[in-house]
Amino acid sequence: MSSTEKIKRTPLYAAHLEWGAKMVAFGGWEMPVVYSSILEEHAAVRERVGLFDISHMGEVLVAGPNAEAVLNHLLTNDVRKIAVGQAQYTLLCNEQGGVIDDLIVYRIEATVYLLVINAANIEKDFSWMNAQASAAVVLENESDKTAGLALQGPNAAKLLGHEGGIVHFHIERQSVFGKECWVARTGYTGEDGFEILCGAGDVTELWSELLRRGAEFGIKPCGLGARDTLRLEMCYPLHGNEMNEETTPLEADLGKFVAFGKGDFIGRAALAEQKEKGVTRKLIAFTMTEKSPPPRTHYPIMTAGRDACATKRIGEVTSGTQSPTLGIGIGMGYVETKSAAIGSKIGIEIRGKTYAATIEKKPLLERGK
């Protein structure tokens, strides 16, 4: 973000301060990183229920008879696979197959789609979609008038009174405590839960109401710190860390979200060629196998071994943390494809010392939904 751009605040800014949040800049937004303790907020989501402000995320409506065709040209996954009320994870790529953004597309009516995009990419995605739309279509950036909350954790459904309600990865228009919302059974934590999109003017009341009614379910307001540790245990990629316009979905191990069979789309030729030749690097997940400082973004990934002269650099960490659930260091990163096999011993270089780690199957934490 350039210094001339003003940092944005969500409608919940005052509520965050009231709840004692530490605020940080994230993707051009001033967001809560932690209220009391990342470890406690993380545990609340894994064991009970947590509430996140996701108003910074972007919402774009794509509508009209050509919406399906336009989206299938813009996005890598096949929107024809989803019925009304269903959600799909997908990628927005450039001609080189680089990832402009990752997003969830919700089919809310037969010819109306709601795209939820990353906060830092709203303007970029919206101009790209306008410039690249292959046919006449209505494109509306609803981001400013839309706010959002993520209610995540095993008690989320009980709190919303939705135990037998919306099916996982589906969305419904519903009234939540008197406010008209889009309620989706999706999230970024690996737990059961909901993402609730509402009018910017309604979110403060919903926030207070959920925290009030959630008290008996052990609810906690949760910040970006816990959001990051939760998603990392699940190996959900974060745009800007695990992928950017110089990495492809195939390198990021997201090949199953690229529908080569659906016909042409932006990036298809480059991705098809890369698939044919094979990727030279691959996104892997790892856990530390000895006591070490937490792995962090940009730390070198090395071949296994203590002796600095005998090991060589094979990649770089894209995200890392101390896993609150597992109590050990975990992370993701890119390594040369020939070194990317699950079970391989690797090293993570931290302040000049190499610590032992193992490449693991994703996700690092199994959750029954």
Partner 1 sequence: MSIPKNLKYAKTHEWVRVDGNVAVVGITDHAQQELTDIVYVELPSVGAQVEATKESAVVESVKAASDIYAPVSGEIVAANEELSSAPELVNEDPYGKGWLFKVKMSDHAELDELLSPDDYSHHIGA
Which residues of this chain interact with partner 1, rule CB under 8 A? 22, 33-34, 37-39, 225, 228-229, 291-294, 296, 321-322, 324, 351
Q: Are the C-beta atoms of 317 and 297 separated by less than 8 Å?
A: yes
Which of these, 241, 314, 242, 240, lies nearest to 280 by C-alpha position?
A: 314
Q: What is the CA radius of gyration of the chain?
A: 21
**Nearest-approach distance from CB 34 to partner 1, in angstroms:** 6
**Nearest-approach distance from CB 308 to partner 1, in angstroms:** 18
Q: Which is nearer to partner 1, 113 or 299 (CB)?
A: 299
**Nearest-approach distance from CB 356 to partner 1, in angstroms:** 16
Q: Which is nearer to partner 1, 9 or 296 (CB)?
A: 296
Task: State the Cα–Cα distance between residues 306 and 290, nearest whole angstrom.
Answer: 12
CA distances from 162 to 181, 202, 367 (A): 14, 20, 20
Write the single-letter amino acid at 137: V
Enter the tokens of residue 58.
């972007």
**Nearest-approach distance from CB 6 to partner 1, in angstroms:** 25
Which of these, 251, 317, 235, lies nearest to 93 by C-alpha position?
A: 251
Q: Which is nearer to partner 1, 33 or 100 (CB)?
A: 33
**Nearest-approach distance from CB 310 to partner 1, in angstroms:** 24
Task: State the Cα–Cα distance between residues 275 and 112, nearest whole angstrom.
Answer: 32
**Nearest-approach distance from CB 339 to partner 1, in angstroms:** 26
Strand 49-53, strand 219-221: pairing: parallel
Q: Which is nearer to partner 1, 39 or 63 (CB)?
A: 39
Q: Which is nearer to partner 1, 82 or 357 (CB)?
A: 357
CA distances from 305 to 288, 300, 333, 353 (A): 13, 14, 18, 11
Q: Which is nearer to partner 1, 33 or 166 (CB)?
A: 33
3-class SS at 12? coil
**Nearest-approach distance from CB 56 to partner 1, in angstroms:** 18
**Nearest-approach distance from CB 293 to partner 1, in angstroms:** 5
> Residue 163: left (phi > 0), alpha (psi -120 to 50), or beta?
alpha
DSSP E strands, 29-97: 29-34, 49-53, 58-63, 87-93
Q: How are strands ordered across the β-sheet holding 193-199?
A: 171-176, 179-184, 193-199, 146-152, 49-53, 219-221
Enter the tokens of residue 113.
């789609």
Q: Which is nearer to partner 1, 27 or 267 (CB)?
A: 27
Q: Which is nearer to partner 1, 38 or 82 (CB)?
A: 38
Q: Which is nearer to partner 1, 221 or 267 (CB)?
A: 221
